[in-house]
Amino acid sequence: MAGKQLTLTLTLLALVLVTTSPAHAKIKEAEAAFQAGDFATALKELKPYLKKKKQPTKANLILARMYLEGLGVPANYSRAFQHLSHPAKKGNAWAATELGKLYLTGAGVMHSNAMAKTWFEKAASVGYGPAQIELGHIHAKGLSVASNQIMAYAWYNLAASSLMGEQRTVALQYRDQLATTMTDAEIIVAQARSLDWADRIKVVEPEIISLLDQATLLAEKKIEQAGTIIVTLNDVVVKKIVVEEKKTTLNATKKPKNETKKTPNAPQKPAKISTASKPKNKISVTLEEEDLSFMQSISAVITSMIVSIFGSTEPGDPASPAPQKKPVSAKSG
């Protein structure tokens, strides 16, 4: 029993030493620089790993992305291939997909449709939508396999169910375009096949070093959340205003009990025009105080919601990264 406790203690100590080591700190700094769009600093922090044969997965992924898209360095598909290989073999879905694209186009590596299909299947098997689209292309065009519209439709359909936004639209376009050349029976079979695959796939979150893209997606989600909150609060404010207006109207129509009835034919004296404002009655003062208190509480709620969604708005907070160009990856053959 004591031996097991000692082993556990040593393991935990090793993990602490790894996560606090200078090498780990450099990767964190490189990742932060990459996220901020400072690719020169990111490359500087990762230079110690360029000469090593075995490199940390995170370093590989950052360097692969930089060499694939020419971020801070000239685009170099051969070097991108080198940095993609290790993460792809470790099961990284994004790296496997990008590796498949390089094999498919022969960029930085010898062209091989069969190898491309193998890497796409590894990524698609864990629910990675972009790899599923690529497999749709493989079967639709008959690359390394016989052309099969049912298989292609099934992969496009599966990709559409796992993707969002523009990528989902692209998958649907490929699927629907293919459907124009298929019979109803073939489409039913393809849909059934994609549903069967979806039930068996264990979806995992791919570790994609595309932090700028992730930041944009996160910002869009936060804006959507803030919009929903503001609409809800606006409805509450409107309802409150309507209620207060009804109260004001009701109080205005009520006559004081001690008010004497006026004689119908009695001549009325002209009202005197005065620039001095009349003192407010207790009802008006109470209503204004309630409105002020209510609006202050609403303002506090909105402020707290915005801070909880977007974080602190103090000047010391890091600025959001400047928008970068859209990632460019190798096109399917």
Same domain, 45 and 80: yes
Residue with more model confidence, 229 or 133? 133
What is d(CA 125, CA 121) in angstroms, rounded to the nearest whole number?
A: 6
Residues 190 and 226 in one domain: no
Percent of the chain residues topping a pLDDT of 90: 42
Together in a domain, 121 and 72: no
Residue where one domain finishes, among candidates 179, 208, 237: 208
Residue 267: band (very low, low, confident or very high) from pLDDT cuts 50, 70, 90: low
**Considering only CA atoms, which of 105, 116, 42 is closest in space to residue 73?**
42
Would 332 be classed as within a structural domain? no
Look at residues 77, 127, 79 and name the one whose alpha carbon lies nearest to residue 105.
77
Q: Is residue 313 situated within a structural domain?
A: no
pLDDT tens, position by position, 82-117: 999 999 999 999 999 999 999 999 999 999 999 999
Which one of 158, 177, 208 terminates a domain?
Answer: 208
pLDDT (0 to 100) of residue 315? 37
Same domain flag for 218 and 303: yes
CB 60 within 8 A of CB 83: yes
77 and 30 share one domain: yes
- How far apart CA 210 and CA 309 sit, in angstroms, is 22
Q: Average pLDDT for residues 250-258, to the nearest whole number?
A: 63
CA angle 258, 264, 268 (to 5 degrees): 85
Calpha distance 232→230 (Å, rounded): 5
User: In angstroms, rounded to a whole number, what is the distance separating the alpha carbons of residues 157 and 14?
Assistant: 45
For residue 45, pLDDT beyond 60: yes
| 330 belongs to a structural domain | no
Residue 60 lies in a domain: yes
Kindly state whether residues 113 and 204 are assigned to the same domain: yes
- Which residues constitute the domain of residue 22? 16-90
> CB under 8 Å to 134, separation ≥6 — which residues?
97, 100, 101, 104, 116, 120, 124, 332
Q: Are residues 215 and 191 in the same domain?
A: no
Task: Give the whole-angstrom CA distance, residue 189 versus residue 315.
Answer: 58
- Closest by CA to 187, choosing from 197, 177, 179, is 179
Phi, psi angle pair for 64, to nearest 5°? -60, -45
Same domain, 66 and 113: no
Domain membership of residue 6 (yes or no) is no
DSSP state of 53: S
Q: Which residues contact 5 (CB under 8 A, 6 or more apart)?
A: none
183 plus 217 within the same structural domain: no
Q: Are residues 179 and 222 in the same domain?
A: no
Do 230 and 294 reside in the same domain of the chain? yes
Q: 225: helix, coil or strand?
A: helix
Do residues 108 and 80 touch, judged by C-beta distance below 8 A?
Answer: yes
Q: Would the pLDDT of 276 be above 60?
A: no
Sign of the CA dihedral running 62, 63, 64, 68: positive
- Full DSSP string of 265-318: TPPPPPPPP-SSPPPPPHHHHHHHHHHHHHHHHHHHHHHHHHHHHH----TTSP
Are 55 and 80 members of one domain?
yes
Q: Could you tell me which residue, 254 or 74, shows the higher pLDDT?
A: 74
Do the domain assignments include residue 1? no
Instruction: State the average pLDDT for the chain.
Output: 74
pLDDT band at 57 (very low <50, low <70, confident <90, very high): confident
The number of domains in the chain is 3
Quick check: 323 pLDDT over 50?
Answer: no
Q: Is residue 102 included in any domain, yes or no?
A: no
Total count of residues recorded for the chain: 333
**Residue in the structure block whose two tokens are 């439709």:** 153
Residue type, 22: P
Provide, for the chain, the percentages of residues in helix, strand and coil under a 3-state DSSP scheme, each rounded to the nearest 5.
Answer: 70, 0, 30
Whether 273 is covered by a domain: the verdict is: no
Closest CA to 118 of 141, 150, 86, 96: 96
